[in-house]
Amino acid sequence: MKSAKDNVELISIPMVVDVPYRFAAGKYMTRFLTELRDNGKFYGIRCPLCNRVQLPPRIVCAVCHVKNSDWIELGNEGTLVGFTIMYLPLTDPTTGKPHEPPFAYGSVRLDGSDSVIDHFLNVEPVVEHIRIGMRMKVALKEREDRVGDLGDILHFDPVT
C-alpha cells in the first residue's frame, strides 16, 4: 500500500563544498613542528611503561593510557617499511595541489622511533627499484621556506 510520502518527488542538487579549516596543533605537536621548522630535527616521545617512541608525539600512549613526557631526539634517517606506486594524482593536504603520477609513496620508520612517517619517496616509481628495508633519509625544505607543518618534509631520499 502506498503512503502519501511515496508520491513526493525528491529533487537533489549536486554540489561540491570546499571547507578549508585550521585547528590548534596542541602543546606536543607544536613542540614537534617547531623543532622541525626551526632546527630541522625530529622529536618523538617515549612511553614510560612500554617504551614505545611515538612520532609524531602523542600526549598519551595509545597502548598503556599513561601520559608521555620523555622527549627523544631522532635522526633523520630510517627504514622503508611499506610503499606503493601511485598512478592517480594525490592531492597534497597541505597545498591542495595534485602530485602528478606516477610516483612512489611510502612509510618510513625513523631510527629510534616505533611509528612511521608516510611521505613521497624520491625514487624511480618502479616496483623493482624499491624494496622494504631500504635505508631512507629525510629531505627538508630550506629553513626560510619551512612553515611548521609536515609539508616541510619534501620527500625521502634513498641512502646510497
Q: Which residues bind Zn ion (CB under 5 A)?
A: 47, 49-50, 61, 63-64
To the nearest whole angstrom, how small is the minimum distance from the Cβ of residue 57 to Zn ion? 13
Q: Report the residue number, 63 or 127, with the smaller CB distance to Zn ion.
A: 63
User: Contact, 132 vs 81, CB < 8 A?
Assistant: yes
To the nearest whole angstrom, how small is the minimum distance from the Cβ of residue 67 to Zn ion? 10
Residue 32 φ/ψ, nearest 5 degrees: -55, -50
Q: Report the residue number, 61 or 110, with the smaller CB distance to Zn ion.
A: 61
Helix ranges (DSSP H) in 23-119: 26-39
To the nearest whole angstrom, how small is the minimum distance from the Cβ of residue 114 to Zn ion? 10
Q: Report the residue number, 45 or 123, with the smaller CB distance to Zn ion.
A: 45
To the nearest whole angstrom, how small is the minimum distance from the Cβ of residue 59 to Zn ion? 12
